[in-house]
Amino acid sequence: EAGVTQSPTHLIKTRGQQATLRCSPISGHTSVYWYQQALGLGLQFLLWYDEGEERNRGNFPPRFSGRQFPNYSSELNVNALELEDSALYLCASSLAGTGKNEKLFFGSGTQLSVL
Amino acid sequence: GQQLNQSPQSMFIQEGEDVSMNCTSSSIFNTWLWYKQEPGEGPVLLIALYKAGELTSNGRLTAQFGITRKDSFLNISASIPSDVGIYFCAGHGSSNTGKLIFGQGTTLQVKP
């Protein structure tokens, strides 16, 4: 069974551009989560989608947005890129969207570099 | 907001030694999860804990959910070189936010 898949693996952009990151959850999982892992800052919660709806977002500016498609895959969009957006962006999925006590399974991430 | 303090930050040990690391929180958690991350990869789930006092093993790994629900411990017995990586604790608080809070990680290096 395939795990969580993310694309692209690496993405290089310049300041002010937009980035789109994609994620496919484990088959049967309905919830998708996005986390940012910046150097030295640990994993920071970005967004949670379940059944196509945004259920919660972390303390990030509105230029971080996303969506979940009917097949439960998800996109993360980052507009007006800033240098400090350079990080590993991790997508995770879980079986159900209760919002609590879920086991999250992570993909390998997209390394975004903003020059 | 809820925070997790994970210690130690890093460990450099000899192959065959046992390893212990822990996480503490200022508030109660309902779930504790332990992950391992290797370079260029995402975190891999090692152990999940759901009840206070619960002790769960996965091979040479053993983790415990603290009685106070504010801490958790991970032990690795007889370490081997492939145990190298960053170990993260993570927990769900009491509200249904979907937000998993992570510790800062423990970097483990094993000398053959």
pLDDT in tens, A20-77: 999 999 999 999 999 999 987 789 999 999 999 999 999 999 999 999 999 999 999 9
3-state helix, strand, coil in chain B (%, to 5): 5, 55, 45
Residues of B with CB under 8 A from a CB of A: 30-31, 33, 35, 40-45, 48, 50, 88, 90, 92, 94-105
- The answer to whether residue A1 scores a pLDDT higher than 70 is no
Min CA distance, B81 vs chain A (Å)?
22
pLDDT at A102: 81
Is B95 close to A100, i.e. CB distance below 8 A?
Answer: yes
- Among B84, B78, B94, residue whose Cα is nearest residue B25: B94
CB count, 10 Å around CB of A14?
10
> What is the rounded distance in angstroms from the CA atom of residue B38 to the CA atom of residue B43?
7
- Convert B78-88 to b/e letters by CB count within 10 Å (16 or more is b): ebeeebebbbb
Q: Which residues of chain B have pLDDT under 50?
A: none
The band of A100, judged by pLDDT with boundaries at 50, 70 and 90, is low
* Chain Cα centroid distance, residue B46: 8
Residue of B nearest to A9 (CA): B40
pLDDT digits (tens, 9 = 90+) for B52-70: 999 999 999 999 999 999 9
Contact A56 B44 (CB under 8 A): no
Q: Which residues in chain A are closer than 8 Å to B104, comparing Cβ atoms?
A: 42
Q: Is B112 helix (H, G, I), strand (E, B) or coil?
A: coil
Which pLDDT belongs to residue B2?
Answer: 65
Query: Is the pLDDT assigned to residue A99 strictly greater than 90?
Result: no
What's the rounded Cα separation, in Å, for the pair A61 and B106? 29
